[in-house]
């Protein structure tokens, strides 16, 4: 059984799979999220993940290997040590030199985050090309894959929760609000006005960027959305798109396949 770990700035997302001969034959065992805590030691991380195993009825001995994609550099080594404690084997960590099968055509490929690489690998395998990958997490990112599957670049904007938190923190009269869509775009109080601007505003920004990026691609693209906040936003976009919450984990699984199977 393979443990996949996506370490983001807000959450650690974990999933475990029984691997088949190809991606469609793989079987998900469990999916879970932990808060990203940069202060945790390898032992603490291992204990926390072991508790998640137990919650889902998985024995420690069942998990024989792991693959990690991390954009939190200060946690990467600790996560790798924790995974080694759990599986008895040094995990595959997505880093320069790891085979991905992805042609990265940006100015400095080493700058590309592990989450964007893994999401692109999965999108290339699962969706028609060209493809635009919308990742809604701590940051809002849209990646562009060309007709040949090459990673052409991306755009990055402040994340929805980050923007909402900054708005509340930097203004004396605006409250903290839940991230959900109001009934109408025209808000009638501070809460619904902030929710409208955040949820509907982000949805329309995504629609606009998708259209602009498609014009630059010179072709209509398939679109897939992922990330912890994607479920709150994509349903309000005018543009039709697939929603695949596990896209990054699926990409990590495919990268593992290229390197260790």
pTM of the predicted structure, to 2 decimals: 0.91
Domains 2-93 and 109-249 agree in fold: yes
- Residue 36 to residues 40, 125, 129, 143: CA-CA distances in angstroms? 9, 28, 33, 24
Q: What is the pLDDT of residue 243?
A: 95
What local confidence, expressed as pLDDT, does residue 169 receive? 72
Which of 231, 82, 209, 86 has its CA nearest to residue 156? Answer: 209
d(CA 156, CA 159): 9
Per-residue pLDDT at 228 exceeds 90: no
CA distance 248 to 254: 10
First vs last C-alpha separation in the chain: 13
CA atoms within 13 A on the CB side of 46: 16
Q: Which of 115, 148, 189, 207 is catalytic?
A: 115
> Domain locations in the chain?
2-93, 109-249
Catalytic residue list contains 115: yes
Is pLDDT of 39 > 90? yes
Residue with tokens 């670049």: 153
Beta-carbon contacts of residue 69 (< 8 Å; ≥ 6 apart): 5, 6, 7, 93, 94, 114, 115, 117, 118, 248, 251, 252, 255
Q: Which fold has domain 2-93?
A: Nucleotidyltransferase; domain 5 (3.30.420)
Confidence of residue 178 (pLDDT cuts 50, 70, 90): confident
pLDDT band at 126, cuts 50/70/90? very high
Say if residues 120 and 251 touch (Cβ distance below 8 Å). Answer: yes
What percentage of the chain has pLDDT greater than the value 70?
Answer: 98
Q: Which architecture, in CATH terms, is 109-249? A: 2-Layer Sandwich (3.30)
Average pLDDT over residues 168-173: 68
Question: What does the pLDDT read at residue 172?
Answer: 63
59-89 pLDDT tens trace: 988 999 999 999 999 999 999 999 999 999 9
In the predicted model, what is the mean pLDDT of residues 235-243? 94
8 Å CB contact between 214 and 132: yes
């Amino acid at each position: 059984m393979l443990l996949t770990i996506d370490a983001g700035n807000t959450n650690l997302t974990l999933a475990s799979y029984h691997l088949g001969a190809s991606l469609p034959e793989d079987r998900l065992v469990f999916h879970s999220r932990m808060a990203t805590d940069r202060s945790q030691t390898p032992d603490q991380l291992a204990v926390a993940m072991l508790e998640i195993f137990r919650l889902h009825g998985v024995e420690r001995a069942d998990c024989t290997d792991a693959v990690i994609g991390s954009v939190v550099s200060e946690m990467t080594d600790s996560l790798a040590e924790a995974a080694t404690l759990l599986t008895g084997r040094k995990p595959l960590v997505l880093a320069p030199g790891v085979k991905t099968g992805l042609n990265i055509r940006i100015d400095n490929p080493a700058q590309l985050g592990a989450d964007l690489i893994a999401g692109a690998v999965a999108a290339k395998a699962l969706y028609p090309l060209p493809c635009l990958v919308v990742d809604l997490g701590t940051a809002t990112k849209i990646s562009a894959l060309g007709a040949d599957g090459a990673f052409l670049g991306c755009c990055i904007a402040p994340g929805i929760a980050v923007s909402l938190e900054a708005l509340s923190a930097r203004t004396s009269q605006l409250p903290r609000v839940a991230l959900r869509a109001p009934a109408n775009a025209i808000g009638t109080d501070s809460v619904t006005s902030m929710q409208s601007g955040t949820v509907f505003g982000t949805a329309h920004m995504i629609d606009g960027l998708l259209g602009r990026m498609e014009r630059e691609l010179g072709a209509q693209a398939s679109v897939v959305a992922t990330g912890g906040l994607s479920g709150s936003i994509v349903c309000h976009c005018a543009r039709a798109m697939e929603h695949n919450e596990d896209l990054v984990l699926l990409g990590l699984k495919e990268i593992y396949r290229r390197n260790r199977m």
